[in-house]
Structure 1
Amino acid sequence: MPTVPDTEYIHKCTSACAGCSSDLILRHVLKAAGPDTVLVVPACCTSVLQGVYPNTSFGIPVYNVAFASAAAVASGMAAAFEELGKKTNVIAYAGDGGTVDIGIQALSGALERGTNFLYICYDNEAYGNTGMQRSGSTPLGARTTTTPGGKPHPKKDLDRIIAAHNLPYMATSCSAYPQDLVKKVEKALSINGPKFMHVLAPCPPGWRYDASKTIEVGKLAVRSGIWAMYEREYDTLTISGQTKAAMMKPAPLEDYLKMQGRFSGLKPEQITEIRQSMERNLRLLKLEAEGTC
């Protein structure tokens, strides 16, 4: 695992909630990227945690844009830097609402055009910035402000949608594994062309757990297998060690679900459906990594 750089590009005056893991993710993303980086941020929690104008908690340039346009703006920015002969890292950093739902058309277009940028979706599985409404990434049975009885539909399979664009690099990670995150960001930024990362970002107020448990919840998501970590380079899939371990000896799925108040109303048949979906995903990933799928 890589050594995490010491330099900080996010300072202590953020407006993040206690236990915020998207703040933790961005901290390590920027450590990996370094100072010659520009962030493109659509409407999301990151728009808020920057702080109140005219002050900012970020030590690099940030371009705040409309909800649907992060990938489109990043495309223009990457083209401008290329024209100027600059190697500046262009990173679009968006939540699941701005990626899975509102921004997916711009993201698909940028990937299809071969934009040289890194798009990172930090996934707290709802619209956290506006009160925790359900998104296309909200899991089956999860309570949100717009699904108070639990979401009746499973989450959208974003990663396989992205994989269909045949990227040179895409990866998944989790806020609870910062060294894995740094390694994958560094690798992504070393590759020319469009790169995508999908990072699980547990959210204490939205997921309804104590703020001190953010790392524990993230690790349990991976250890149970509900969140898989891997890298994909075109058609080659490599499963990360933490997920290989979960495939061999998973932590109980129920332990992960019981830690979060948003799953308090789950029915037994919903738990069965969640488990079957998780097992199918891991099975398909294993077959693909072995070259038999």
Structure 2
Amino acid sequence: MARGERITVTLRELPIEDYIVSGHRMCAGCGSAIAARMALKAAGPNTIVVNATGCLEVATTIYPYTSWRIPWIHVAFENAAAVASGIEAAIRVLTRKNLMKQKPNIIAFGGDGGTFDIGIQALSGALERGHRFLYICYDNEAYMNTGIQRSGATPLGAATTTSPSGRVIPGKKEWKKDLIGIAVAHNIPYAATACISYWGDYINKVKKALSFNGPTVIHVLSPCQLGWRFDPSETIKLGRLAVQTRIFPIYEVEYGKYKLNINVTKPLPVIEYIRIQGRFRHLLEPQNSHIIEDIQKNINLQWNRLLKLCSIE
């Protein structure tokens, strides 16, 4: 167990059944597949899944096959939250007319491209209207399905096919968006970050999010071995390093109140996270050392800001 990890669900308590099953075409070591599998173990069989176009959709439903054992609908890149809103509204009508006895869970899955960028309008509208559903953004920090293009979730300095590293521009020049900050600004009941490497924290948050009578959002970091360029066996290690270097803090916001779930009191330097990813290898060159320094400074700044939001001195 890593420093600060908080687990209240045991392996014995997890259901044996899987609702997204093997045989799909996700890459070896795919973090997104783990994110979906764990979320559905938490949600159970009485669940409807809305899936935006992306890796998770494409690789699990290659016609005429499917890996999903529960009701599942594929929608466009940009409208997963809108479709989830429609399903929730229909369920309310059916319940009012006594045509549905047990309300199902509604989970919308979208990648970072379909959430941070293309789908942000639909998500914002659904959150503002107050529909009861859980939106899970599986964040692999680029448009991996279409060729590793940069997204609003791609970190500073990362090389992608649309932010390639070179002598003039050393990777992406912009900072990553604050998705949870955007979600919290809509005054929703619950929003949280999670990481597949901390499965207990993640599963508990899915269960908790589904218990609220309103929209909830979970931003789960899902390392991508293809786009990040690391060995497929190190997916879980990469997730843990993201947390232990504080580049991806784990916290939740319930009715506007922030709570830090994993307090990394002895952080590793961010270079430990950067050096084992091919997308950052150009940052290890002497002329780009200042970028690593900027990343470390921003991590420290954002961590101190988070501590204040969590009322931690």
Could you list the structure 1 runs, at least 4 aligned residues long, displaced by more than 3 angstroms after superposition.
none
Alignment of 1:128-147 (within 5 A): 128-147=144-163
Are the aligned partners of 1:258 and 1:264 in contact in 2 as well (CA < 8 Å)? yes
Give the alignment's TM-score, normalised by structure 2: 0.90
Are the aligned partners of 2:269 and 2:296 in contact in 1 as well (CA < 8 Å)? no
Residue equivalent to 1:269: 290
**SS state at 1:265 partner:** helix
Residue equivalent to 1:74: 84
Residue equivalent to 1:61: 71
Percentage of identical aligned residues? 51
Q: Which one of the candidate residues 241, 251, 254 is aligned to 2:271? A: 254
Are the aligned partners of 2:131 and 2:215 in contact in 1 as well (CA < 8 Å)? yes
Residue equivalent to 1:165: 186
In structure 1, C-alpha distance between the alignment counterparts of 2:253 and 2:225, rounded to whole Å? 30
Give the alignment's TM-score, normalised by structure 1: 0.96
Residue equivalent to 1:219: 240
In structure 2, C-alpha distance between the alignment counterparts of 1:157 and 1:198, rounded to whole Å? 10
**SS state at 1:196 partner:** strand
Residue equivalent to 1:199: 220
Alpha-carbon RMSD: 1.1
Are the aligned partners of 1:74 and 1:92 in contact in 2 as well (CA < 8 Å)? yes
**SS state at 1:144 partner:** coil
Moved more, 265-274 or 15-24: 265-274
Rg comparison, structure with higher value: 2
- Answer yes or no: is 1:181 the counterpart of 2:202: yes
| Residue identity matched to 2:17 | T
| Residue identity matched to 2:298 | S
In structure 2, C-alpha distance between the alignment counterparts of 1:57 and 1:161, rounded to whole Å? 32
Residue equivalent to 2:126: 110
In structure 2, C-alpha distance between the alignment counterparts of 1:289 and 1:198, rounded to whole Å? 18
Paired residues, number:
288
Residue equivalent to 2:60: 50
Are the aligned partners of 2:158 and 2:172 in contact in 1 as well (CA < 8 Å)? yes
Are the aligned partners of 2:194 and 2:202 in contact in 1 as well (CA < 8 Å)? yes
- Answer yes or no: is 1:17 the counterpart of 2:34: no
In structure 1, C-alpha distance between the alignment counterparts of 2:230 and 2:270, rounded to whole Å? 16
1:203-234: CA deviation from partner (whole Å, max 9, x where unpaired) = 00100000000000000100110001011012
In structure 1, C-alpha distance between the alignment counterparts of 2:143 and 2:277, rounded to whole Å? 17
1:291 CA displacement: 7.4
**SS state at 2:282 partner:** coil
Are the aligned partners of 1:96 and 1:121 in contact in 2 as well (CA < 8 Å)? yes
